[in-house]
Homo-oligomer: A and B are copies of this chain.
Amino acid sequence: MKKVSVGLLGFGTVGTGVVRLLTQEKERLEARMGCSIELKKVLVRNKNRPRKVLIDSRILTTDASDVLDDPEIDIIIELIGGVDKAYRYILRALQNKKNVVTANKDLMASYGEELLLEARKSKKDLFYEASVAGGIPILRTLTDSLAADRIVKLIGIVNGTTNYILSQMSHEGLSYEKSLQSAQSLGFAEADPTSDVEGLDAARKMVILSHLAFSIPVRMDDVKITGITDVTREDIVYAQKLGYTVKLVGVSEVNNGAIDVRVEPTLLPNGHPLASVDNENNAIYVYGSTLGETMYYGPGAGEGPTAVSVLSDLLAVIRNMNLGVTGNHIFLPRREMHNREENSIESQFFVRLHMKDEPGSFSLLTDLFKEQRISLEKLYQEPIVGKDIAEISIITHTTNKILFESSFDVLRKMDVVLNAKYYRVERG
């Protein structure tokens, strides 16, 4: 039987999962691929650290060149994370004519295009299914199965940490701080949660998804990002009263050749399939111009799910190697990047405000919206007991974003308005 040799860079959680699957499913995978799959070298930081899976300690090394420059190794799996070192390793692997599988979203969001060009030049595969939405096979779906259709919009719940936090706030009535602590204690959030809660992680995934869905080379700078740190339990409660769920979603939408990519806390109508994607799960909702709406749902992270995605890429490389066609499935952006003009963007909005509960104040509010021709779809008002203040929640009809923002600015500065905030609303 033919043999394929694999080198692994990094032996943390996902690396452990990959080794576990390769060992447990060896027989089935090899029968399916028609070749034996040998794990030849593993780059680690410490050779003596105890491991959760059985592994021949002789294949462990602390020297990257033992893996990258071994002429017998056909495929490199990069799981060390980070950007600079991973970039150098992958570049060297490709230049050494090795196929590469990576789960590194930070790297692919920043240097994806460059590395993909290098892969094409070397006629080798560079696959990265695990970099977005852990176990959900969304990248291959976009490049293969949905290729026949013209995708016009993507909505993604692509960060498990923030989705867990918002789910806890919604269902358990916890504050943001308590939910974050719960996420940290369960391992869903890191000690420094900045990259997740500020929306950066989700933005990187939207960059990768936009590239594949629209063939447009979006960069991190093109994404408008707002995290969840200012979302309060009250925002969620009043959104619920109007029939909406608050989620951190990434939206990427193309209109007349220009793209708008944003990550922000957004209200989804409760009936929307994305509204019931709870806890650490992820989902990507795709609008095709002919296909209509499809959704891909599953675990967004974790040893097992991510390892399955890494392995699915590994099997795809092996299949291409067997057929002698590596380097032919590299997908590079072909269209130019044009950011959509802010003043062409329309949306519904959710406004929450506290207002002095005195005669005439409510009509000041409705007059303002009337004057600006912003019509209201839903409105909820209740008194804040004992304070002569009214709590008001509004869902507007679809309106121009710039117009809305300038009206909101006027509203915020009114004497009778004590404080006000708004979120975007996604249509059902």
Contact = CB atoms under 8 A, between A and B. Distances in A.
Contact of A29 (B135, B148, B271, B290): B148
A145 B140 contact: yes
A102 B302 CA distance: 37
A75 to B, nearest CB: 14
Given A21-B148, A29-B148, A276-B271, A136 B294 contact: yes
Interface size class of A (residues with CB under 8 A): 35 or more
A298 B294 contact: yes
Interface in A146-163: 146-150
Contacts of A147: 32, 312, 315
Interface string A289-310: 0111111111100101101110
A288 interface: yes
Interface in A337-367: none
Q: Count copies of this chain in the complex.
A: 2
A315 B148 contact: yes
Contact of A308 (B31, B148, B293, B334): B148
A312 B21 contact: no
A333 interface: no
A323 interface: yes
Contacts of A290: 17, 21, 304-305, 307-308
Given A149-B308, A304-B291, A305-B292, A297 B273 contact: yes
Interface string A203-221: 0000000000000000000
B140 A144 contact: yes
A145 B271 CA distance: 29
A242 to B, nearest CB: 19
Contact of A312 (B146, B302, B323): B146
A51 B239 CA distance: 48
A312 B148 contact: yes
A292 B135 CA distance: 8
A389 interface: no
A28 interface: yes
A254 to B, nearest CB: 13
B288 A293 contact: no
A145 B319 CA distance: 13
A12 interface: no
A311 interface: yes
Nearest to A25: B150
A193 to B, nearest CB: 23
Interface string A109-152: 00000000000000000000100000111001100111111100
Interface in A3-40: 17, 21, 25, 28-29, 31-32
B304 A299 contact: no
A59 interface: no
A145 B137 contact: yes
A57 to B, nearest CB: 25
A271 to B, nearest CB: 7
- The 3 A-B residue pairs whose C-beta atoms are closest, nearest first, are A137-B145, A294-B298, A148-B311
Interface of A: 17, 21, 25, 28-29, 31-32, 129, 135-137, 140-141, 144-150, 271, 273, 276-277, 288, 290-299, 302, 304-305, 307-309, 311-312, 314-316, 319, 323, 325, 328, 334
10 contacts: A17-B290, A25-B148, A137-B144, A144-B316, A273-B277, A291-B298, A292-B299, A292-B305, A293-B298, A294-B296
